[in-house]
Structure 1
Amino acid sequence: MRVGIVCPYSFDAPGGVQFHVRDLAEALQELGHEVSVLAPADEDTPVPQVVTPAGRAVAVRYNGSVARLAFGPRAARRVRRWLEAGDFDVVHLHEPMVPSLSMLALWLAECPVVATFHTSQARSRALQVAHPLLRQSLEKIAARIAVSEDARRTLIDHMGGDAVVIPNGVYVDVFAAAGAESRWQGTADAPTIAFLGRLDEPRKGLQVLASAAPAVLERYPGARFLVAGRGDDGRDAAIEALGARATSFEFLGGVSDADKASLLASADLYVAPQTGGESFGIVLVEAMSAGTAVVASDLGAFRRVLDDGAGGRLFRTGEPQDLARVLVEALGDPVGTAERRARASAFVQRFDWSVVTRQVLAVYEMALAAGEAIGVDGMPDAVTAADDRTGWRRALRPGGGEGA
Structure 2
Amino acid sequence: MKIAQVAPLYESVPPIAYGATERIISYLTEALVVLGHDVTLFATADSRTQAHLHSSTPTALWRDERVWDTTSHHLRQLDAVIKHSSQFDVIHFHTEPLHLPMQRFLACPSITTMHGRLLPADHGPLFATFPDAPLVSISDSQRKAMPDANWRATVHHGLPLDEMRYSQEDGDYLLFVGRVMPEKRIDRAIEIARRAGLPLKIAAAVHPGERAYFKETIWPMLEASQSFVEYLGEVGGESRRALFANARALVFPIDWEEPFGLVMIEAMASGTPVVAFRRGAVPEVLEHGVSGLIVDDVDEAVQAVQAVRDVGAIDRARCRKTFEKRFSAERMARDYLAVYRDLVDNRASAANIVDSDTDALQA
Shorter chain as normaliser: what TM range?
0.7 to 0.9
Q: In the alignment, which residue of structure 1 is the partner of 2:341?
A: 365
Q: Select which of 197, 207, 211 maps to 2:178.
A: 197
Q: Select which of 38, 46, 50 maps to 2:42.
A: 38
2:215 and 2:327 map into 1 onto residues whose CA distance is: 32
* Structure 2 counterparts to residues 216-365 of structure 1, below 5 A: 216-217=196-197, 223-231=198-206, 233-234=213-214, 237-241=217-221, 244-316=224-296, 319-334=297-312, 336-338=313-315, 341-348=316-323, 349-365=325-341
Q: SS of the residue aligned with 1:164?
A: strand
Q: In the comparison of the two structures, how many residue pairs are matched?
A: 335
| Preserved CA contact (<8 Å) 1:10 1:69 | no
2:353 and 2:60 map into 1 onto residues whose CA distance is: 39
1:84: Cα distance to partner?
A: 2.9
Supply the AA of the counterpart residue of 1:26: E
Residue 7 of structure 1 pairs with residue 7 of structure 2: yes
CA separation of 1:178/1:337 partners in 2, compared to 1, >3 Å: closer, same or farther?
closer
CA separation of 1:244/1:11 partners in 2, compared to 1, >3 Å: closer, same or farther?
closer
1:311-348 deviation digits (Å, cap 9, x = unpaired) = 211121xx4333223222321222x222xx34422322
Q: Select which of 116, 127, 134 maps to 1:131.
A: 127
Q: In the alignment, which residue of structure 2 is the partner of 1:145?
A: 136
Q: Select which of 20, 32, 53 maps to 1:16.
A: 20
Supply the AA of the counterpart residue of 2:32: L
1:62-97 deviation digits (Å, cap 9, x = unpaired) = xxxxxx98445x7445423344346111111225xx
| Preserved CA contact (<8 Å) 2:168 2:317 | no
Q: In the alignment, which residue of structure 1 is the partner of 2:145?
A: 154
Structure 2: stretches of 5+ with no match in the other structure = 63-67, 355-363
Higher mean alpha-carbon deviation, 105-114 vs 355-364, is at 105-114
Structure 1: stretches of 5+ with no match in the other structure = 60-67, 218-222, 379-404
CA separation of 1:208/1:235 partners in 2, compared to 1, >3 Å: closer, same or farther?
farther
CA separation of 1:4/1:179 partners in 2, compared to 1, >3 Å: closer, same or farther?
farther
Q: SS of the residue aligned with 2:341?
A: helix
CA separation of 1:263/1:171 partners in 2, compared to 1, >3 Å: closer, same or farther?
same
| Preserved CA contact (<8 Å) 1:8 1:70 | no
| Preserved CA contact (<8 Å) 2:257 2:280 | no
Supply the AA of the counterpart residue of 2:156: P
1:215: Cα distance to partner?
A: 1.4
1:211 and 1:320 map into 2 onto residues whose CA distance is: 8
| Preserved CA contact (<8 Å) 1:119 1:154 | no
CA RMSD between the two structures: 3.2
* Structure 2 counterparts to residues 166-177 of structure 1, below 5 A: 166-177=155-166
Q: SS of the residue aligned with 2:281?
A: helix
| Preserved CA contact (<8 Å) 2:113 2:136 | yes
Supply the AA of the counterpart residue of 1:331: R
2:100 and 2:140 map into 1 onto residues whose CA distance is: 23
| Preserved CA contact (<8 Å) 2:201 2:231 | yes
| Preserved CA contact (<8 Å) 1:93 1:106 | no
Q: SS of the residue aligned with 2:258?
A: coil
Percent identity (aligned): 23
1:356 and 1:53 map into 2 onto residues whose CA distance is: 25
CA separation of 1:178/1:214 partners in 2, compared to 1, >3 Å: closer, same or farther?
closer
| Preserved CA contact (<8 Å) 1:8 1:69 | no
CA separation of 1:321/1:178 partners in 2, compared to 1, >3 Å: closer, same or farther?
closer
Q: In the alignment, which residue of structure 2 is the partner of 1:374?
A: 350
1:287: Cα distance to partner?
A: 0.5
Q: SS of the residue aligned with 1:173?
A: coil
2:93 and 2:341 map into 1 onto residues whose CA distance is: 15
1:179 and 1:329 map into 2 onto residues whose CA distance is: 17
Stretches of 4+ aligned residues off by more than 6 angstroms = 56-59, 375-378
Supply the AA of the counterpart residue of 1:128: G
| Preserved CA contact (<8 Å) 2:139 2:156 | yes
1:128 and 1:6 map into 2 onto residues whose CA distance is: 23
